[in-house]
Amino acid sequence: MDSEKLTEQKEKRKSPVFSRLGSFFVGIYDVYKFIIRLFKEAFLPPYEFREIMRQCYEVGVKSLPLISLTGFITGLVFTKQSRPSLAEFGATSWLPSLMSIAVIRALAPLVTALICAGKVASNMGAELGSMRVTEQIDAMEVSATNPFRFLVVTRVIATTLMVPALAIYTALVGMLGSYLNIHNNELTSFRAFIDTAFKTISFLDLFSSLFKAVVFGFTVGVAGCYKGYTTSGGTQGVGRAANSAVVVSMFLIFIEEMIVVQIVNAMRP
């Protein structure tokens, strides 16, 4: 009897672990079904072009002030911090090349994606979550409207299109901040700065940067829409959805950054 009680106690202790592990794999499967449905709905008519354009405006244009300030300060501060290290070796003339490599290869898509994860993904999670808990999505289904296509597909397409555009803009603004700092200290002309900066940039660098921005944009859209669309638990669930959308999207962005960098480095001659 004592041995049976011990085994029962051990099984009870193990059950929370197995339940959490099971819920984790169930969640992975739900995300898989969500993404598969997303691709199916994206290519089937009717297409919500007006809603896609509205979401592009929400994601892109309304993010420009924050993107502009962050990109400019990133280029300015990174140049200012890099100058003393290069000045020790008398290599301040390498600053434009260093900044082009840092901004275009890594900082522009990563900074843009992180800003969109904090601003856009949380907004999507909160907006769709509030629609779910107030039964607005259920009402759309009853009225013969496809809420998944109208609410989810349009937002994911908007983030996938606009994050690369914002990343290009961030790179330009960051290089502008770098040029102003270099010109203020070394009196370098704009033409000399551009010639030196883009000598070290290859087509592979531009392609990998745009590819990362597309992947990051898709990740931000999927994370924000999935957390919001599957919200439960009332108003508290809306807050959890917005918070987890930001955390999950940022975590996935760093993982994808690491994977893409390894692949691109393997492709370099």
Split at pLDDT 50, 70, 90, the class of 46 is: confident
The one-character DSSP state at 200 is S
Q: What is the pLDDT of residue 1?
A: 44
The better pLDDT of the pair 10, 129 is held by 129
Asked if 226 contacts 246 with a C-beta cutoff of 8 angstroms, the reply is: no
Q: What is the pLDDT of residue 140?
A: 84
Where exactly are the structural domains of the chain?
48-267
pLDDT at residue 48 is higher than 60: yes
Q: What is the pLDDT of residues 61-108, one digit of tens each?
A: 999 999 999 999 999 998 998 888 888 877 778 888 888 888 988 899
Asked if 222 contacts 152 with a C-beta cutoff of 8 angstroms, the reply is: no
Question: pTM for this one?
Answer: 0.88
Q: How far apart (Å, rounded) are the C-alpha atoms in residues 217 and 15?
A: 38
Question: Can you tell me which residue has the tokens 């003393």?
Answer: 84
Question: Distances from the Cα of 85 to the Cαs of 5, 79, 82, 178, 183, in angstroms?
Answer: 67, 11, 6, 16, 18
Q: What is the pLDDT of residue 120?
A: 92
pLDDT at residue 178 is higher than 60: yes
pLDDT at residue 17 is higher than 50: yes
The better pLDDT of the pair 224, 187 is held by 224
Cα-only R_g, the chain: 23
Q: What is the pLDDT of residue 16?
A: 65
Of 45-49, 141-145, 240-244, the range with the lowest mean pLDDT is 141-145
